[in-house]
């Protein structure tokens, strides 16, 4: 048995689209044009299938989320991709992170069987109308929905490894990414969820198996050093959390 079988990542994040309809001040999409529709990059369906199939073959049983900095429900392929993920990874916990702007009761019903948890963050002043209809129909709450507002993000916001100008308490050490795999829409295995610009890439999933990605010597070397607080990468040195007022 390989390393992946003995010790799986707790969280695998796969970005299907770079497009996001919002430009929140606490997100790098407000600073860079990566998230614009005009610059949209979509992960090819065959690559997404390769990744989830490989995870399923390795009995992946932790959390899988089809997002990064793009809005997953802005990708009209998402219902199909979620069905594919559910089929290939029957043991996984599939969590969909969304701003809720594109979520309707009809879409919710369509994807509900493929999703274990919906994490919806309200970024505007009002709850998205579709989300309100879903919650109203279930008496104000739903067992699969975790709902939060942007205010909760602002109370402990990340500076996205130095991309968002704000006062932060810098990390003394970081063990989070030892337990995670993050893959962007290009198929690149990036440093972590803070690596918006893919400044550190360990390879491309077009050419790697999930076992090779997880056990990459360079990835392990960087993250083991991060656990000790021995940051070698600039984005790790500058990464921290603080309050946005």
pLDDT by residue (tens digit) across 154-180? 999 999 999 999 999 999 999 887 899
Section 21-41 average pLDDT:
97
Please check the confidence at residue 149 and state whether its pLDDT lies above 60. Answer: yes
8 Å CB contact between 174 and 194: no
Q: Is 229 helix (H, G, I), strand (E, B) or coil?
A: coil
Q: To the nearest 5 percent, what fractions of the chain are helix, strand and coil? A: 35, 20, 45
Report d(CA 138, CA 63) in Å as an integer: 25
- Please give the Cα distance from 79 to 219 (Å, whole number): 32
CA distances in angstroms from 173 to 51, 61, 185, 215, listed in the order given: 30, 27, 28, 21
Cα–Cα dist 13/21, whole Å: 20
Q: Are strands 157-158 and 240-242 parallel, antiparallel or unpaired?
A: antiparallel
pLDDT in tens, 75-118: 999 999 999 999 999 999 999 999 999 999 999 999 999 999 99
**pLDDT of residue 3 exceeding 70:** no
pLDDT of 1 higher than 70: no
> Is the model's pTM score more than 0.85?
yes
């Amino acid at each position: 048995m390989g390393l992946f079988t003995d010790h799986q990542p707790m969280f695998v994040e796969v970005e299907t689209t770079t497009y996001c309809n919002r430009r929140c001040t606490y997100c790098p999409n407000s600073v860079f044009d990566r998230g614009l529709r005009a610059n949209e990059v979509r992960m090819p369906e065959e690559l997404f299938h390769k990744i989830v199939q490989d995870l399923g073959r390795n009995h992946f049983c932790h959390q899988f989320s089809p997002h990064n900095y793009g809005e997953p429900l802005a990708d009209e392929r998402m219902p199909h991709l979620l069905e594919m993920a559910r089929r290939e990874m029957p043991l996984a916990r599939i969590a969909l992170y969304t701003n809720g702007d594109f979520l309707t009761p009809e879409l919710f019903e369509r994807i509900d069987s493929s999703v274990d948890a919906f994490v919806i963050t309200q970024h505007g002043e009002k709850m998205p109308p579709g989300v309100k209809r879903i919650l109203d129909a279930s008496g104000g709450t739903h067992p699969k929905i975790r709902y939060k507002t942007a205010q909760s993000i602002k109370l402990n916001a990340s500076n996205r490894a130095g991309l968002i100008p704000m006062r932060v308490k810098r990390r003394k050490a970081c063990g989070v990414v030892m337990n995670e795999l993050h893959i962007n829409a290009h198929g690149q295995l990036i440093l972590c969820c803070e690596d918006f610009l893919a400044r550190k890439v360990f390879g491309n999933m077009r050419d790697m198996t999930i076992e090779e990605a997880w056990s990459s010597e360079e990835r392990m070397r960087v993250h083991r050093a991060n656990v000790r607080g021995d940051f070698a990468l600039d984005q790790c040195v500058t990464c921290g959390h603080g309050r946005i007022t």
